[in-house]
Amino acid sequence: MEKLRIQKYLSQAGVCSRRKAEDYISRWLVEVNWVTAEIGQSIDPEVDIVKLWDKAVKEQKELIYYKMNKPRGIETTCAQDGQNSIIDIIDIKTRVFPIGRLDKETTGLIILTNDGRLANYLMHPRYEHKKEYVVEVFGPIKDDALETLREWVYILWKYTNKAEVERLSSWTFKITISEWRNRQIRRMVEKIGSMVKKLKRIRIENVELWNLDEWEYKPLSKSEKKALFDILNLDN
C-alpha cells in the first residue's frame, strides 16, 4: 500500500485534523512501531502500528458528519482529560472531533466528523469560508459602529476581512465572517466600544443550525452534505 505521512494517516483515521495531529506528535503522544513519531514521517498503514495516547489507531472505513447546537459552559475540545467537553456530552459510537472552536460561553453550531479533510478545508485560513453569528451586546449599538464592523477592525496584529452585518434590533445584529481567529467576534465588538452579552453561531457555509435545541445533534442530511462538499470541491 502507498505510504502516508503520519499526520494524514491520523486525519484519515478520524482521530483529529492534520494540524491537531502535528500538535500530538510534537508532544510525543504518537508512536509508530513503539518508537516516538516525528512530524512528516511516512508510514505504511498495512504494516506499521500507530498509537496515540498508547492506544492503537485504526483507519476509519465510514466517514460521518453531524451538526450540534453547543450549549453554554461546554468546552469545544477533544482532550482526553477535558471536563465538560463536547466529546463528553455526545453518544456517537464512532470517534469524532469538532470542526471550529467556540469559546465556553458561546453557543450554537458545531460540525462533528471523523473526516480530517473536511476540517482542513473548513479551517484553513486561505479558504475563507463563511460563518454567521447572532450577537447581543450590552446597550444599544450605533449604526457607525456596525459600519466599522463591516469594513475592518484591527485585532491580533491584523485587520479583519470585510464582514456582512445586519441589524436585528438596537441591541442585536447578525454578522458573517470568513476567518477562524481566536475569539474574533468578541474582540471586534470590544474594539468598537461595546461588549458581547450573548453570542451564537447559526451557520457554517450552507450548514445551518435551524431549529436544533441546545444539546441536540443529528447527522447532516444528504442535501446538506452534498452542498457543503460542492462548495469545498471535495469528493463525496
| 103 counts as catalytic | yes
Residues with Cβ within 8 Å of residue 96, at least 6 apart in sequence: 14, 64, 66, 87, 90, 112, 113, 114
Q: Is the pLDDT of residue 235 over 80?
A: no
pLDDT of residue 80: 47
Q: Is the pLDDT of residue 155 over 50?
A: yes
Give the Cα separation of 210 and 112 in Å (integer): 16
pLDDT digits (tens, 9 = 90+) for 15-72: 777 788 888 999 999 999 989 999 889 988 878 889 998 888 877 668 899 999 999 9
Report whether 212 contacts 69 (CB < 8 A). yes
Report whether 88 contacts 78 (CB < 8 A). no
pLDDT digits (tens, 9 = 90+) for 74-122: 888 665 444 578 888 888 888 888 887 899 999 999 999 988 778 878 8
Report whether 102 contacts 110 (CB < 8 A). yes
DSSP 213: P
The residue annotated as part of the active site, out of 23, 44, 88, 103, is 103
Q: Which domains are present in the chain?
A: 4-56 (3.10.290.10), 65-124+206-232 (3.30.70.580), 130-204 (3.30.70.1560)
pTM (two decimals): 0.76
Give the Cα separation of 176 and 163 in Å (integer): 6
Give the Cα separation of 50 and 185 in Å (integer): 39
pLDDT digits (tens, 9 = 90+) for 186-213: 999 999 999 999 999 999 999 999 989 9
- Burial degree of 223 (CB within 10 A; 0-12, 13-18, 19+): exposed
